A = this chain, B = another copy of it.
Amino acid sequence: MQDSNSVGIVTPQYVHIDKPLELRSGSVLSSYNLVYETYGKLNAAKSNAVLVCHALSGNHHIAGVYADIPKSSGWWDNMIGPGKPIDTNRFFVIGVNNLGGCHGSTGPASIDARTGKHYGADFPIVMVEDWVETHVQLAEHLGIEQFAAVVGGSLGGMQALQWTLDYPEKVRYALVIAAASKLTAQNIAFNDVARQAIMTDQEFYGGDYHAFNTYPKRGLRLARMLGHITYLSDDSMAAKFGRDLRGDTFSFDFDVEFEIESYLRYQGDKFADLFDANSYLLMTKALDYFDPAAAYDGDLSIAFKNIQADFLVLSFTSDWRFSPERSRSIVKALLDNEINVSYAEITSSHGHDSFLMETAYYHQMVQAYMHNIST
């Protein structure tokens, strides 16, 4: 799995934040853990730090591999490494698992020290703004006062955007990729079907499935199958699977039959074994709630009035989950505020997942943009 420009073997690190976090919901977490990874070296001026925020099912393991674990490359390994678009020879790159996640940071599947039991349904709902607060604590822990850049795709892009709103002086550049300033009714509708699949699973037990030694695998599997359809484009599914059958003829039963069914069910099964259902609910809700313009009567231009960072906004032509139109509205609101923004609509057939792909023009754009950031 290692190439010459990989960051190589990496090890996750932990920080315990022993400072109460007041969430936007009004709930308070008295303390929490964050798991994170770093790649490259923080320079003496501490001016070369890049925070990479993850999307719905992502985590802190962005680049490199784990010792002795084959196929353990980070989810954005094609983007981050020595000589790669986000160049670890120049930048100190940080990945962090978001609060409420299920990969090491405190979340619903963690043990609540107060009760000695899993948080389960008691874990509070978190918003993108809350994540930014936790990132601030991590930055403080690492001695970073200002990020050279905050970067993210999809829900990660929303966090990068929120960073520039809440801490304008702490972000020099924001890279907002395949994102949107809010979900549409259709986006929310898909999320709700996914949540209902999980919550109506008889093994869900109102979120306290840990106490019953079970988990809502069927529901989480369906949620992922559905999500996966929205990450791909119609064209990419047609090119990859079309109407191909697994066998030679119709089976005239309801077993797996078309290749696309096989693929989706496999993706659903794999995910349901790895991810926590309560975390999935939380992450989708954070997506639904995100809407920085809401406090300004829906006027994104006014919402952006305090932004100081420069922006790179990227969208992908075949992304129907967060279409280019959604990115353009972000760019428009940035331009209304005379903010320095670069924008590109990248031709790609891979749908929303394009932001994870190694498309030459896309990577060149990021590389060039990052190259111009002084450290």
> What residues of chain A have their CB less than 8 Å away from a CB belonging to chain B?
25-27, 124-125, 182-186, 188-190, 192-193, 195-197, 199-202, 218, 221-222, 225-226, 229, 232, 234, 237-238, 240-243, 250, 252-254, 257-258, 260-261, 264-265, 268, 281, 285, 288-289, 291, 294
Contact = CB atoms under 8 A, between A and B. Distances in A.
A229 B189 contact: yes
Given A200-B222, A218-B200, A222-B197, A188 B252 contact: no
A100 to B, nearest CB: 13
A184 B237 contact: yes
Contact of A185 (B242, B289, B294): B242
A216 to B, nearest CB: 11
A285 B253 CA distance: 9
Given A200-B222, A252-B26, A188 B258 contact: yes
A184 B252 contact: no
Contacts of A192: 225, 258, 260-261, 264-265
Contacts of A243: 182-185, 188, 291, 294
Contacts of A241: 185
A241 B240 CA distance: 34
Given A186-B234, A186-B237, 15 more contacts: A25-B252, A26-B252, A183-B243, A185-B234, A185-B242, A186-B232, A186-B238, A189-B264, A192-B260, A193-B264, A196-B222, A197-B222, A226-B226, A254-B285, A258-B288
Contacts of A291: 243
A172 to B, nearest CB: 31
A260 B197 contact: no
Contacts of A265: 192, 196
Contacts of A289: 250
Contacts of A257: 288
Contacts of A183: 243
Contacts of A124: 252
Contacts of A260: 185, 188-189, 192
